[in-house]
Structures are given as C-alpha cells and as structure tokens.
Amino acid sequence: MIAMSKFNNDKLNKLKAIDSIWRFFYLRPINNEPKEPIDKNSVQEIVIMAMMMLGDTIMLIPSLKSLKKQFPKASITLICGTATKAILDDRNLADKYVIVKSPWMFHDYSIKNLLQLINSVRIANLNKYDLAIDFRGDWRNIFLMNFIKAKRKISFNYSGGEYMLTDVIAPNENKIHYIDEWLYLTEQLGCVVNEEDRYPHLNLNEHDKKYLADFKTQHALYDKLVIGIHPGASVADRKWQESKYADLIIRLAQTYKNCMFVLFQGPGEDETIHKILDIIVPMNIKNVIVNVGLQKYLVLLNSCELLICNDSGAGHIAAAFNIPSVVIFGKSDPATIKPLNKNFIKLISHRDKIKPEQNKSNGDYLALVTTDEVYTATIGIINDIKSDSNNYMVTHKTSTDV
C-alpha cells in the first residue's frame, strides 16, 4: 500500500492497525478472482460512498460528471450527508440519495447514530448495484461498502481493506490533487478524461437568480465593489485570526471607497463574526451579515466580486461558481486540495517555513500569515479583474446561467 503525504499519518496508522485485525477474521476475500472489463453500456446502478465535507463534495463533481457522461444508462445513488445532497441535488449529477450521518466524520458513535447508519445500509440495499465506489480509499468507507449489495466494489487501497474489494485501484503518485486522483479512478473504469473535465462547476437556476437579485437590491449592492469574507471554518484551528480579518477589511475600505463587505456566518461562527464586527463597526465600515442555510449560501456567494476565506469549503464553492478568491492555508498542502478554477485564485501558504518534524499545529502556520500579504493578494486580484474585465465578466456570468 502507498501512503501519500496528503493523508494524516496518525489516522492512517490507526486504520492500518484496525485493518490488520479485521483481515484476520475476514474469511472470504473477494479480490482474488480475475474480473472482466466493465461494460459501460450494461451498468444500470452505481452507488458511491460520498460521506464528505463541503470542499470534498465540490471536488467530487468532476468524477460524478465523468460517470454520468460515460455510463449513459446508469442511475447513480450517493450515500452521503445532508450537506452533500444540498449542494448536488437537482444538478443532474446523482439520481438518488441515501442520507447518513457518518460516525467518523462527526465523531458520533452513539447507539442512536449507529442504528441510523445500519438503517441507511438497509435502505441502500433496496437496490442491487452493478458498481459500488469509494473514491477516498478510506478503510471505514470500504468496511461500510462491504455490506452493500454490489457486483463490483471499487476503491484505492491506501488504508487497507483490499480483500473487501473486487477491484483494487493502485494509487498513482503522479496524481497529487484529489480531483486528479478521483478522475484517475474513473479512468480505471474505462472513462476518458481531458483537461476540461478537471474543473468543478456550479450554476444558478432562474429561481436562484431572482433571489440573488432581490438580495442585491435590498442591500444596495449594485454598482459597488462587493468583497465577500468568510472567516470561519469547520475546524477551529483552520481560522486565520479575527483581528487580522478586521485589519484587512479596514485597509480595503480605506483603499476602495465604493466597496461593501459581505460577511458570511456559518454554523457556530457567531463569535468569529462578532469579534470582527466589534472592530469594524466603530469605523463605520459598510457591511452585510449573511447567516443562512447552505442552499441560500450557495446563491448569495454570487453577490461577491471576490471572496477571502480560510482553507475551507467556501473557497471550493466560490471556485465552482467562477468567483475569484484569496484562500488562506495553514498546515494543509494546497497542491492536494486547493480550489481549482480557470479564474483568479491566489493561495497563501507558509508550509515551507516550518519543518514537518517540528510537529506544529495548524494555528502555528496561520500565525505566519500577515495582513499585508493578504491585502496585497486581494489588491492583485482586483487589479487582475479590472485588467481582464471582459474575460472575467464572461466567465463569471457563465456561473449564473442555467
């Protein structure tokens, strides 16, 4: 098995330890028989283990499009959380959803949640599948997929579990980014992938566009430079300091007199937002607070000319809508998970300034990011937009077309 640097080594070692025990009791390995090539025209049902966070869901879009396009007769079922369904529903990327609250994602191993997990498997097994796929190569996903009724079970073998698979995909170390890695898996199923397929893309329907227009009218956002700020993150130590966000907003407000700041507040991020407001409100800086559910968040993000955020789902969602962004990274390697967008994206990372053996926290890396460099990156993007305004307007407009 190959363990790539983008995986958490502590977690990987724990999964390998569990795997070494489980494989001892697993009496019927299913990967020891030769398999025929997959006939794409005969595949009727595909199920995908898609228990993912927001950013991962966006990065899965290219692979879903590839499967939809090249398995023309297949119905695709996602076993996923409510957030993944909210992002992908009605976008012709999946046909059915089986909702599950993944115990290992939400650290909820209560009896109630485990029973709900078992029930989700029962619901999924109301269908019989030609293909079951886990794109992450996560032993826990593979273990769950072991109980799904499918003729072929396919995944990478990063953390073990290959004896529970019919098709074991050997990782390609040249595929660094998650999107490229997952598209590589679809290639092993017979899909043809080109460069254009790498970019996730989301759009707005007519109802969304009306909601967006009403929001922009209500807050007088037309004819203003609208700068989005999403200072939160699903994990606390992925947040750049609130005081630095506030300093950045003040400097940008002084530079651009006709700008408006839209501050996005995710679940549990009220304290983060209030720390920023406590600094900028006395300065009479114009701002709008957006605290809405995920589906409305997807729409209102399109009110912004650019977004400044942490390494989080926000940057990936912005990229999928062709919204320019500045993304602040901590310990994570941007090469593996950076948002992909043909438009303007600036990534700020100081991974090279701390040696891995120092075992520093994500917050230690973020502490190295200065207001000056984020300000400079933001000014650079605004200038890029102005100098390439025709191309920007075309690509950004495309994101709101049906």
Residue 214 lies in a domain: yes
The reply to whether 110 and 156 lie within a common domain is yes
Tokens matching residue 35: 């398999």
Residue 3 lies in a domain: no
Pairing of strands 75-80, 345-348: unpaired
Average pLDDT across each block of 10 residues of the chain; the chain has 402 residues. List them in order. Answer: 53 81 71 78 96 96 96 96 96 96 91 95 96 95 95 92 92 94 96 91 96 97 96 87 98 96 95 97 96 97 97 96 96 93 89 84 92 97 80 41 28
Residue 352 lies in a domain: yes
pTM above 0.85, yes or no: yes
The reply to whether 48 and 157 lie within a common domain is yes
The reply to whether 125 and 39 lie within a common domain is yes
The reply to whether 131 and 192 lie within a common domain is yes
The reply to whether 358 and 272 lie within a common domain is yes
The reply to whether 147 and 271 lie within a common domain is no
Residue 209 and residue 128: Cα distance in Å, rounded? 39
The reply to whether 235 and 148 lie within a common domain is no
Residue 4 lies in a domain: no
- Are residues 152 and 131 in contact, defined by beta-carbon separation less than 8 angstroms? yes
Residue 183 lies in a domain: yes
The reply to whether 52 and 157 lie within a common domain is yes
The reply to whether 212 and 193 lie within a common domain is no
The reply to whether 254 and 161 lie within a common domain is no
Domain stops at, among 153, 177, 198: 198
Residue 295 and residue 174: Cα distance in Å, rounded? 35
What pLDDT shows up at residue 2?
Answer: 41
What pLDDT shows up at residue 5?
Answer: 44
The reply to whether 75 and 188 lie within a common domain is yes
What pLDDT shows up at residue 18?
Answer: 83
Q: How many domains does the chain have?
A: 2
The reply to whether 177 and 144 lie within a common domain is yes
Residue 264 and residue 314: Cα distance in Å, rounded? 9
Residue 191, domain extent: 9-198
What pLDDT shows up at residue 105?
Answer: 87
Tokens 């500045």, located at residue: 326
Residue 2 lies in a domain: no
Domain stops at, among 168, 198, 228: 198
Domain at 359, CATH number:
3.40.50.2000
Pairing of strands 129-134, 96-99: unpaired
Domain stops at, among 198, 227, 254: 198
